Amino acid sequence: MLTISTDEVARVAKLARIALTEEEVTRFASELDVIASAVAKVSEVATPDVEATSHPIPLRNVWREDIAGDVLDRDELLAGAPAAENGQFRVPQILGEE
């Protein structure tokens, strides 16, 4: 079984330039050890005769016909807008000119 040591955690943290306290190094070593053990357990089960899958149940797409429906009149829409100009909604400028 894999064991993640505190020395390994400290070495990787140093390489990544992450400042960790001794308590964090100890905690992360323990947590990473649990993760590595779980991955090892899955690796034991994943044999060549087990089919790879991303979901336990099959997925299927549900498609509908793309049918054009009634459209709204532009002038009717713009009539409800606070401000309109040249057939478009007018909104306040939020970005500076560059």
User: For residue range 1-46, what is the model confidence (pLDDT) as tens digits?
Assistant: 568 899 999 999 999 999 999 999 999 999 999 999 998 888 787 7
Domains of the chain: 6-45 (1.10.20)
Res. 89: pLDDT tops 70? yes
Strand partners, 88: 85
Q: Which residues contact 52 (CB under 8 A, 6 or more apart)?
A: 46
Amino acid at 88: Q
Over the stretch 49-79, which tens digit does the pLDDT of each residue have? 877 777 778 788 888 888 888 888 898 999 9
**Integer Cα distance of 24 and 13 in angstroms:** 11
